[in-house]
Copies of this chain bind each other. A is one copy, B any other.
Amino acid sequence: MVGKVEERRKDLRDRLIRIAERHIEEEGLSAVKARALATEADCSVGAIYNVFDDLQDIMIAVNGRTFQSLGAHVAKALKGKTNLPPTDRLIVMSHAYMDYAALHPNLWRALFGLRMSTDMQVPQWYLDELARLFGYISGPVSECFPDFDAEEVDLMTRTLFSSVHGIVLLGLENRISAVPEAQLEYMIALLLRSATQKKN
């Protein structure tokens, strides 16, 4: 029965992560507060510090889950589309990316908004997930540019990802200058078609 205690620790960790996730989703990163978490998790404030180093630790854990679900979302959109031309696959992925961002804007922003303090290394899973996302993209990219070497493919991959990210970011941000989602999708497709078109 050594596991009984360990099990409760894990359970509390999980509950706290879920609650923090909901708070971030609803009100952003700054909505992660010790007292609120404790109340909702039905534990004391101090208990949080038994299973996490500090609040930032929880935010990182939430970002981990977000990365997973973002990846799954993109993968799902791509399912059964493997025989589409590469440009179209890029478009499908980008639309899925935008879709996810629109569906969970605060979780999505949290991925980029969590300032890692300078002394702390970026956690390994973060780099792994990033590599996995880029892996999705670099396949179609190298198909679009058959005469590119690996380095050029990598560069183009980053370029296209950053561009799509920028479009989604400014598009979803400015609710004032109000670009409807359908138009964002169109902008993305426009860019990707222009950028990957064969220039004979």
Alpha-carbon distance A196/B187, docked complex (angstroms): 14
Could you say which of A11-19, A34-42, A49-57, A161-169 contacts chain B?
A: A161-169
Q: Which residues of chain B are within 8 angstroms of A177 by Cβ–Cβ distance?
A: 130
Could you say which of A69-77, A78-86, A152-160 contacts chain B?
A: A152-160
Q: A166-B166, A166-B169 are in contact. Are A187 and B155 (CB under 8 A)?
A: yes
Q: Which residues of chain B are within 8 angstroms of A179 by Cβ–Cβ distance?
A: 158
- Cβ of A122 within 8 Å of any chain B Cβ, yes or no, is yes
Q: Is the CB of B163 within 8 A of A167?
A: yes
Q: Which residues of chain B are within 8 angstroms of A194 by Cβ–Cβ distance?
A: 194-197, 199
Work out how many copies of this chain go into the complex: 2
Alpha-carbon distance A103/B141, docked complex (angstroms): 32
Task: Tell me the residues in window 92-112 of chain A with beta carbons closer than 8 Å to chain B beta carbons.
Answer: 112
Q: How far is the CB of A67 from chain B (nearest CB, A)?
A: 15
Q: How far is the CB of A47 from chain B (nearest CB, A)?
A: 30
Name, among A155, A170, A171, the residue most crowded by chain B CB atoms within 10 Å (CB to CB): A170
Contact size class for A? Answer: 20 to 34
Q: How far is the CB of A14 from chain B (nearest CB, A)?
A: 29
Q: Is the CB of A170 within 8 A of B176?
A: no
Q: Is the CB of A195 within 8 A of B187?
A: no
Alpha-carbon distance A185/B122, docked complex (angstroms): 26
Q: Which residues of chain B are within 8 angstroms of A160 by Cβ–Cβ distance?
A: 191
Mark A residues whose CB is within 8 Å of B. Answer: 112, 122, 130, 155-156, 158-167, 169-171, 173, 176-177, 179, 183, 186-187, 190-191, 194-197, 199-200
